[in-house]
Amino acid sequence: MDRMERAIAKILRPKLVEHGFELSKKWDCFVRKRDYGEDSFVVVNQGTARGAGKFYEINCFAHVRHEKVELLWNTLGMVYGEDQLHTWTLLYKPREQNLPPMTVSPTSVEIDVQKVAGQLVELLDHSEKVFYPRFADLKEVEEWINKKPLADTNPTAGGPIEHLTMRALILAKLVNPPRYAVVREAFLALDKGMFPREKRMAMLQTVDGMSL
212 residues of the chain, pLDDT tens digit each: 788 889 999 999 999 999 999 999 888 899 999 999 999 999 999 877 655 558 889 999 999 999 999 989 888 887 767 666 778 999 998 887 667 788 998 889 999 999 999 999 999 999 999 999 999 999 999 999 998 887 665 667 666 778 888 899 999 999 999 999 999 988 888 775 577 888 888 888 999 998 87
Q: Are residues 12 and 41 in the same domain?
A: yes
Q: Are residues 109 and 166 in the same domain?
A: no
Q: Are residues 23 and 127 in the same domain?
A: yes
Phi, psi of 74 (to 5 degrees): -75, -10
Q: Return the ∠ at Cα 73 (arms to 70 and 76), rounded to 5°.
A: 145
Q: Are residues 41 and 129 in the same domain?
A: yes
Q: Answer with the one of 70, 101, 135 that is the final residue of a domain.
A: 135
The Cα–Cα gap between 4 and 112 comes to 11
Q: Are residues 99 and 120 in the same domain?
A: yes
Q: Are residues 23 and 89 in the same domain?
A: yes
Long-range Cβ pairs for the range 177-183 (8 Å, 24+): 179/142, 179/146, 179/149, 182/146, 182/149, 183/146, 183/149, 183/150
Return the beta strands (E) in 67-121 as ranges. 90-92, 102-104
What's the structural domain count of the chain?
2
Non-local CB neighbours of 185 within 8 Å, separated by 6+ positions: 149
Q: Are residues 102 and 196 in the same domain?
A: no
Q: Are residues 54 and 119 in the same domain?
A: yes
Q: Are residues 94 and 107 in the same domain?
A: yes
pTM: 0.87
The Cα–Cα gap between 116 and 103 comes to 7
Q: Answer with the one of 135, 155, 176 that is the final residue of a domain.
A: 135
Q: Are residues 26 and 127 in the same domain?
A: yes
Check residue 52 and give its pLDDT: 55
**In terms of Cα–Cα distance, which of 201, 145, 150 is closest to 175?**
145
Check residue 11 and give its pLDDT: 95
Check residue 129 and give its pLDDT: 95
Q: Are residues 103 and 84 in the same domain?
A: yes
**Domain range for residue 164?**
138-208
Q: Are residues 54 and 122 in the same domain?
A: yes
Q: Answer with the one of 106, 135, 164 that is the final residue of a domain.
A: 135
Check residue 83 and give its pLDDT: 67
Check residue 171 and give its pLDDT: 94
